[in-house]
Structure 1
């Protein structure tokens, strides 16, 4: 039979370990800066309170010219609170399509990463083509500057 003193010791150990772990994870995600995703697109962000602004230079297009001549779109978004905040951001592309990302900034091995899910909505000429106008995917953005661990690992 487990004694009350034994249970108290186990709970105390769990409490002490959880406090220690939260100190290790105490780093905050600073989203201001330049980020690069796994396909080489470059995201430039400026966080100001609960707002995000910046640009995205994409390396991916469904149709040539859809993102514009320089393939860069103006970005705006919102930023949640906390050390590893959630966020939402969107870009309107040259030919009328829009992309929206929702995600969270995490600290992984001392490095900030942005884990996102995106929706790309293309403009269609008729409601009958609505079914094919939205694509969904996932992106991971890594900080361009080097991290505490000397590199970006997934």
Structure 2
């Protein structure tokens, strides 16, 4: 934030009597842009559910930003019963970025396919965390001639449960 804008915001808060942190949307450094400041860093560790009802539990990351967890999908093209599957991933450290990018791989325990997810963790002005993801699913096929139909792509939005 530009120092003059910060000073003006402080004066406005003093005039109003108080300001909740993050309650003012102030101009960013560029012309015509607004600030998207958040309440704090987005933390990946915890339980998340997407719009389809799939659930994942992510562990706390280590010092290098690596994490693990489990993924229980709510949807599948497999005829086998759905089972929770292990995942492994990494993210940019939140001490460097408040809303980190991340990626993880799920090797499905009930089918011969693998899915990779990439995305970013976002915190809105009210402190709600969401994970915006894009994924590629690679299904095993019988021959190279069938490779054209082996990959699916999609998007999911996850919301924190706890």
Structure with more of its chain in helix, by fraction:
1
TM-score bucket (shorter structure)? 0.7 to 0.9
1:52 matched residue in structure 2: 67
The offset of 1:70, in angstroms, is 4.4
2:13 matched residue in structure 1: none
Query: Displaced runs of 4+ in structure 1, greater than 2 A?
Result: 10-19
The offset of 1:71, in angstroms, is 2.2
The aligned runs of 1:47-126 (5 Å cut-off) are 47-48=60-61, 49=63, 50-65=65-80, 69-81=81-93, 82-93=97-108, 94-108=110-124, 109-126=126-143
2:43 matched residue in structure 1: 30
* Equivalent residues of 1:113, 1:140 under 8 A apart: yes
Structure with more of its chain in strand, by fraction:
1
Q: Using structure 2 for the length normalisation, give the TM-score.
A: 0.73
The offset of 1:64, in angstroms, is 1.6
Q: Using structure 1 for the length normalisation, give the TM-score.
A: 0.76
* Residue number among 129, 153, 161 corresponding to 1:136 in the alignment: 153
Aligned residues: 132
Q: Structure 1: give runs of 5+ residues left out of the alignment.
A: 1-9, 146-154
